Amino acid sequence: MPKCAVWWAGPRMAQRLQDPHIQPKVGRMIQEVPMLLQPATDVRLRAYAPYSRFKVGAAIRATSGAVHVGCNVENVAYPEGTCAEAGAIAAMIAAGDTAIAEILVIADSPAPVPPCGGCRQKIAEFAAPDVKVTLCTTDGAQKVMTVADLLPGVFTAAHMAKA
């Protein structure tokens, strides 16, 4: 997976978390960080979240190598809001890509926030079960999972084989 080296400020919150999947970035040091972190961080700032005030950014590396981003876009009619992951997927499809090689999601949260149930199914539509999903906080905590970790027992076209 492509990575880049950046200066990274360590979190306080992540140090308190017990989850072994969470890799707190402690201290000020050069870390290898996912190449999707910067685009997801940037797009998160453009989220439209006046109701929840919870801004989320998502970045997808498609199998073509192109990077596609999305942020949550809320609506006064609350159910009409869309998640960051859905936005990134829409951008990917609009750009002509159809396969996710990797996805990263970031939010300002005490712990890396996993995609909601609906987004898990949306991601699974375009990603193989072993595709890496990196969940990040703006404090620098990261949790790395796979699509299969996120959505065991995913509904697939194979389940409609008798239809």
Q: Give me the active site residues, please.
A: 85
SS3 call for 155: coil
Cβ atoms of 30 and 53 closer than 8 Å: no
Q: Could you say whether residue 85 binds ligand THU (CB under 6 A)? A: yes
DSSP character string of 33-98: EETTHHHHHHHHTT-B-TTT---EEEEEEETTS-EEEEE-B--SSGGG-B-HHHHHHHHHHHTT--
Q: Could you say whether residue 108 binds ligand THU (CB under 6 A)? A: no
- Least distance in angstroms from the C-beta of 29 to ligand THU: 29
Q: Could you say whether residue 156 binds ligand THU (CB under 6 A)? A: no
Exactly one of 119, 124, 136, 150 binds ligand THU (CB under 6 A); that residue is: 119
Q: How far apart are CA 144 and CA 161, in angstroms?
A: 33
**Lookup result for tokens 């076209």:** 157
Neighbours of 73 (CB within 10 A): 16
- Least distance in angstroms from the C-beta of 83 to ligand THU: 3
Q: Could you say whether residue 115 binds ligand THU (CB under 6 A)? A: yes
Q: Could you say whether residue 84 binds ligand THU (CB under 6 A)? A: yes
Cβ atoms of 32 and 59 closer than 8 Å: no
- Least distance in angstroms from the C-beta of 53 to ligand THU: 9
Q: Could you say whether residue 116 binds ligand THU (CB under 6 A)? A: yes
Site string for ligand THU, 29-58 (x = CB under 6 A): --------------------x--x-x-x--
Site for ligand THU, rule CB under 6 A: 49, 52, 54, 56, 72, 74, 81, 83-85, 105, 113, 115-116, 119
